[in-house]
Amino acid sequence: MRRKFIAGNWKMNKTIEEAKELAEEIKTELNEIDKVDIALFPPFTALYPVYEVIKDSNIALGAQNMWYESKGAYTGETSPAFIVDIGCKYIIIGHSERRKYFNETDELINRKIKTALEWKLTPIVCLGETLEQREKGETQKVIEHQFNHGFMDLDSVQASRTTIAYEPIWAIGTGQTATPEIAEQIHKFIRGLVQKEYGSQTADNFQILYGGSVKPENIDGLIQELDIDGALVGGASLNPKSFIDIVKKTSGG
C-alpha cells in the first residue's frame, strides 16, 4: 500500500523569521498526522532554521535544487553534501522553473538524480508538458522523453528510491488545475512507464505526486484517483491554513 505524501515547495519566498513562523504553525497543527508523509522545501537561507523547528517532528525537510558534484569550483552552487549535512531527506530535481529559467536539461537532471541517490537523498523528479505541447497532443511523448532521459541508466533499486511529481506547466501558479481525470490519465501513463522499465513491483510501490495549483478546494478529487499519491504544493503551501487543510484532507479528516 503506497503512502500519501504532501510536499510544500516554498520557492523563493520567506525570510528566516517568516519561514520559522510558518514551519512552527504547520508543525503544531499537523503533529498527530501519521498517515501522510509531509515535507517542507524552504529556500536555502531558511533550511537550517526550519530544520531546527521540525527536527523532532513528523515533518521532513527538503531542498529545492542541488548541484551534481559534491565539492569544487562551482561558485554559487550547493553540494548534496551540504544538503544532507543540514538535515534534508528530500531534493526536488528538474522543476519546470529550473528547466525554463536555468536551462536545466534532461541530461543534467539525470546527473543530479544519480548524485542525490548516492547521497541517500530522495529525489522528487518533476515532469510536465507546456500548454502548447498539450494542445498539439504531445503530452505523453514529452513525459516519456523526460522519463527516459531523466532516469537513464538507473536500476530498479535506484528507481524505487525516487518519487515523480507530474506537474503540467500550464497548471503551475496559474490557478488552472488539471481535472482529477486529466491528472489520473497521465499518472497512470507514468506508472506504466515505470512498470515497463522496472517491473510491476517497483511500479506498484512508486509514489507519483501531482503538482499544479493544488489547494484545499481541489485536493479531495485529486487524491481519490488510484494513481495520485499526493501533491507537490507551491503557492498554497505559503499559507499555513491552506497547507494544513490540504494535509488533513489527504489524511482523510
Task: Tell how strand 36-41 and strand 4-9 pair up.
Answer: parallel
Using the minimum distance from each CB to ligand PEP, give the nearer residue, 174 or 201.
Answer: 174
Count CB atoms within 10 A of the CB of residue 35: 11
The residue at minimum Cβ distance from ligand PEP is 234
CA dihedral sign, ordered 143, 145, 151, 157: positive
Whose cell is 503506497? That residue is 2
Q: Nearest distance from residue 22's CB to ligand PEP, in Å?
A: 15
Using the minimum distance from each CB to ligand PEP, give the nearer residue, 172 or 228.
Answer: 172
The single residue of 95, 97, 184, 187 carrying the catalytic annotation is 95
* 168 contacts 146 by C-beta, under 8 angstroms: no
Count CB atoms within 10 A of the CB of residue 62: 22
* 234 contacts 31 by C-beta, under 8 angstroms: no
* 233 contacts 216 by C-beta, under 8 angstroms: no
Q: Look up 187 and say whether it is catalytic.
A: no
Q: 148-207: which residues touch ligand PEP (CB under 6 A)?
A: 167, 172-173
The single residue of 97, 104, 129, 167 carrying the catalytic annotation is 167
> How many residues in the shown chain lie near ligand PEP by CB under 6 A?
14
Question: Could you say which of 168, 211, 230, 240 contacts ligand PEP (CB under 6 A)?
Answer: 211
d(CA 159, CA 168): 22
Chain centre to alpha carbon of residue 133:
22
Q: Nearest distance from residue 196's CB to ligand PEP, in Å?
A: 26
Using the minimum distance from each CB to ligand PEP, give the nearer residue, 139 or 213.
Answer: 213
Q: Look up 52 and say whether it is catalytic.
A: no
- Is residue 42 a contact residue for ligand PEP (CB under 6 A)? no
Which residues are CB-neighbours of 46 under 8 A, at least 6 positions away? 10, 14, 15, 16, 19, 20
Q: Nearest distance from residue 87's CB to ligand PEP, in Å?
A: 22
Q: 221-250: which residues touch ligand PEP (CB under 6 A)?
A: 232-236
Q: Nearest distance from residue 115's CB to ligand PEP, in Å?
A: 21
Residues annotated as part of the active site: 95, 167
Contact residues toward ligand PEP (CB under 6 A) are 9, 11, 167, 172-173, 211-214, 232-236
